[in-house]
Amino acid sequence: MKNVMRKLLIINILSLLLFSCDLTSSGEYFNRARDFEIEGKYEKANALLDKAIAKNPKFRPALLNRAVNKSILEDYEGAIEDYKALLEFDPDNALALLNLGNNYKRIKNYEDAISSYNKALSTEWVIKSVPVGELINDIETSLKLELDQHPSFDKDSEYEVNELDVIYERGIAYVLNEQFSHGINDMEKLLEHEYYIADCHYWIGNAHVGLKDSTNACQSFIKSAKLGLKIAREKIKEHCLKNKN
């Protein structure tokens, strides 16, 4: 009878251990979260990323993607905290610094946004003046590869960013922070590389408005509008056409 009781006790202990131990890896949680992100179910994705991060607090892909999801859900403060957590142990992560700056800009903390962009530009993971790709323009970049298909996935090179993308975001922050001359300088540098010409002329126009230089403002808005930027047409109506009356 004692042997039977002992066996039952051992079985119960083993069962408890099996059910209480989470055998799912952080990478598996990350991959499952990606499925929810593809479906636009960001809260469910973050619930899985929470588990991935609990298993590995320094799991960069999970921290970065959870921050991006929070931004999409307009939890900008939460996103900022995740980027800060990542940067505590990986301070030169250019992608995290760029995204951090974008979130500071969303909450109108332009000084910290500019500081984040400057730090990103000072890292070795900034690609210098490469041909442009898809415009970031307040859309953050997440890591979309699956870990089980890419065992060496979490490499520093995955966090590289285009120097021009960072300068563009910094230029906007300068204009919004009323540092108009700095904003113009950034946008003019981008024009030298033919980087999103219409957008750059638009922000140069806004900077000239801030400097009360209506002539150059209107010239920039007209250039932007001719290149198809609709919002520039509204600026022409607001700042240029009324001056002719």
Q: What is the spatial distance between Cα 31 and Cα 45, in angstroms, rounded to a whole number?
A: 10
Percent of the chain with pLDDT over 70: 79
Q: What is the spatial distance between Cα 36 and Cα 34, in angstroms, rounded to a whole number?
A: 5
User: What pLDDT does 204 receive?
Assistant: 99
Ranges for all domains in the chain classified under CATH 1.25.40.10: 62-182
62-182: CATH topology: 1.25.40
Q: What's the pLDDT tens digit per position in 103-141?
A: 999 999 999 999 999 999 999 989 987 555 444 445 576
Give the pLDDT mean for 80-103: 97
User: What element of type H or E holds 127?
Assistant: strand 126-127
Question: CA dist 153 to 59, 132, 158, Å?
Answer: 11, 24, 8
Cα 42 from chain centre: 15
Alpha-helical (H) ranges within 107-229 are 110-121, 163-176, 180-192, 197-210, 214-226
pTM: 0.84
Q: What's the pLDDT tens digit per position in 6-64?
A: 545 555 554 444 444 567 889 999 999 999 999 999 999 999 999 999 999 999 999 99
